[in-house]
């Protein structure tokens, strides 16, 4: 069974790619930066649990699942999400939608999927599913993974039920539209202001601009945590090529702000866009310094990355304060 007239959304980030595919099937064809921005997706987290993690993790977006929730709310769409601990029910939830010609989004751990060449556990990955047969599920993944791909039903089952950080209980979701979506000029400012408010008011110090500040201090001591070259290379790779669109999602957000200027006339928006155009290359430099640190184990690279991160924290705080005043 294949959903009729389905056309995949081609993107770099997994959640915007999966949700973008569902929206495209509804006739809503927005750019990936616009999906990310209307999903209020920009964020930051520094996550380090030494007893459980061999190396710290840096994330550049908001909490898993919230991007799609925000996007549907802003576009006036109905989101139906289902979770279950039962493998049988999990498959039933997906199969019923596909049989009704409705594509579904699925959250899973990418490790068991046949087509993934980089075998790492990440239970916060998203795909869209648009069909199945007796052997395979037909999926949409990011451009890096091949866009339209297929995975054995068994590997999909294993991927969905994996446990660990960021995992869900066989989460699947579908989206329906009732009437026309709001005009972008009406919803862009509110989405930007809410994203700015979250970024500027983190509940704990390892999130938002405070999290970037904390990382700037912590990174100087990374050699005490690990001198495995692969840890540093993987961190740099995830910042640039792990579905972030480059610069830990800052390029996507910069492009969202730039596209928003076509719909919203605002001096705050224009200034914020210019600031993120300057901030994004600074993140590129941080990832490059982390990679060099792993290659040379020279402390100067971590110290320079630390200085850059402290400056980035201040610049992003200033940019978001400005964007929070958008009309």
Domains and CATH numbers, the chain: 14-30+78-176 (3.90.70.10), 184-323 (1.20.120)
Confidence (pLDDT) at 132: 96
Q: Three-state SS for 10?
A: coil
Task: Identify the weakest region by mean pLDDT among 29-43, 159-173, 261-275, 306-320.
Answer: 159-173
Confidence of residue 116 (pLDDT cuts 50, 70, 90): confident
Confidence of residue 133 (pLDDT cuts 50, 70, 90): very high
In this prediction, residues 187-195 reach a mean pLDDT of: 98
- Nearest C-alpha neighbor of 131 from the set 173, 100, 162: 100
Half-sphere exposure of 270 (CA within 13 A, CB side): 5
Radius of gyration of the chain (CA): 20
CA-to-CA distance for 319 and 311, rounded, in angstroms? Answer: 12
Confidence of residue 121 (pLDDT cuts 50, 70, 90): confident
Compute the Cα dihedral for 282, 288, 294, 299 and give only its sign: negative
Q: Residues 204, 206, 210, CA angle at the centre, nearest 5°? A: 90
Would the pLDDT of 7 be above 90? yes
Would the pLDDT of 163 be above 90? no
Q: Residues 112, 251, 262, CA angle at the centre, nearest 5°? A: 125
Would the pLDDT of 279 be above 90? yes
In this prediction, residues 284-312 reach a mean pLDDT of: 98
CA-to-CA distance for 81 and 65, rounded, in angstroms? Answer: 10
CA-to-CA distance for 96 and 70, rounded, in angstroms? Answer: 25
Confidence (pLDDT) at 76: 97
Q: Three-state SS for 222?
A: helix
Confidence (pLDDT) at 241: 87
Would the pLDDT of 244 be above 90? yes
Helices and strands, number each (H, E), in the chain: 12, 8
In this prediction, residues 232-255 reach a mean pLDDT of: 95
Which pTM was predicted?
A: 0.95
Would the pLDDT of 273 be above 80? yes
pLDDT tens by residue, 196-209: 999 999 999 999 99
Confidence of residue 49 (pLDDT cuts 50, 70, 90): confident
Confidence (pLDDT) at 79: 98
Would the pLDDT of 233 be above 90? yes
Q: Mind giving me the DSSP string for 243-262?
A: SS-SGGGHHHHHHHHHHHTT
Confidence of residue 24 (pLDDT cuts 50, 70, 90): very high
Confidence (pLDDT) at 289: 98
Q: Three-state SS for 235?
A: helix
In this prediction, residues 127-156 reach a mean pLDDT of: 96
In this prediction, residues 53-77 reach a mean pLDDT of: 94
CA-to-CA distance for 215 and 125, rounded, in angstroms? Answer: 24
Q: Three-state SS for 150?
A: strand
Confidence of residue 41 (pLDDT cuts 50, 70, 90): very high
Cβ-contact 132, 86 below 8 angstroms? no
Confidence (pLDDT) at 199: 98
**Average model confidence (pLDDT) for the chain?**
95
In this prediction, residues 2-23 reach a mean pLDDT of: 97
In this prediction, residues 40-54 reach a mean pLDDT of: 91
CA-to-CA distance for 304 and 307, rounded, in angstroms? Answer: 5
Structure tokens at 56: 């710290």
Confidence (pLDDT) at 143: 94
């Amino acid at each position: 069974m294949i959903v009729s007239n389905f056309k995949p959304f081609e993107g770099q980030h997994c959640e915007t790619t999966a949700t973008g595919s569902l929206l495209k099937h509804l006739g809503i064809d927005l750019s990936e930066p616009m999906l990310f921005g209307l999903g209020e997706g920009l964020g930051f987290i520094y996550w380090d649990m030494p007893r459980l993690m061999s190396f710290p993790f840096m994330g550049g977006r908001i909490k898993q699942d919230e991007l799609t929730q925000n996007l549907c709310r802003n576009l006036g769409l109905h989101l139906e999400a289902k979770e279950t601990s039962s493998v049988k029910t999990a498959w039933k939830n997906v199969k019923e939608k596909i049989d009704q010609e409705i594509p579904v989004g699925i959250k899973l751990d990418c490790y068991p999927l046949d087509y993934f060449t980089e075998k790492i556990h990440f239970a916060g990955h998203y795909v869209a599913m648009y069909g199945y047969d007796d052997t395979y599920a037909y999926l949409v993944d990011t451009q890096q993974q091949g866009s339209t791909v297929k995975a054995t039903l068994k590997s999909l089952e294993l991927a969905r039920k994996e446990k660990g950080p960021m995992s869900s209980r066989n989460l699947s979701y579908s989206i329906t539209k009732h009437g026309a979506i709001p005009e972008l000029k009406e919803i862009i400012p509110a989405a930007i202001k809410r994203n700015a408010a979250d970024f500027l008011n983190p509940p704990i110090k390892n999130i938002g601009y405070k999290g970037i500040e904390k990382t700037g201090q912590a990174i100087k001591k990374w050699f005490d945590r690990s001198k495995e070259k692969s840890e540093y290379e993987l961190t740099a790779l995830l910042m640039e090529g792990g579905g972030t669109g480059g610069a830990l999602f800052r390029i996507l957000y910069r492009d969202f702000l730039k596209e928003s200027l076509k719909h919203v006339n605002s001096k705050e928006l224009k200034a914020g866009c210019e600031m993120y155009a300057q901030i994004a290359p600074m993140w590129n430099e941080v990832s490059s310094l982390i990679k060099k640190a792993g290659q040379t184990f020279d402390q100067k690279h971590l110290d320079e990355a630390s200085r850059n991160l402290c400056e980035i924290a201040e610049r992003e705080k200033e940019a978001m304060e400005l964007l929070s005043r958008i009309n």
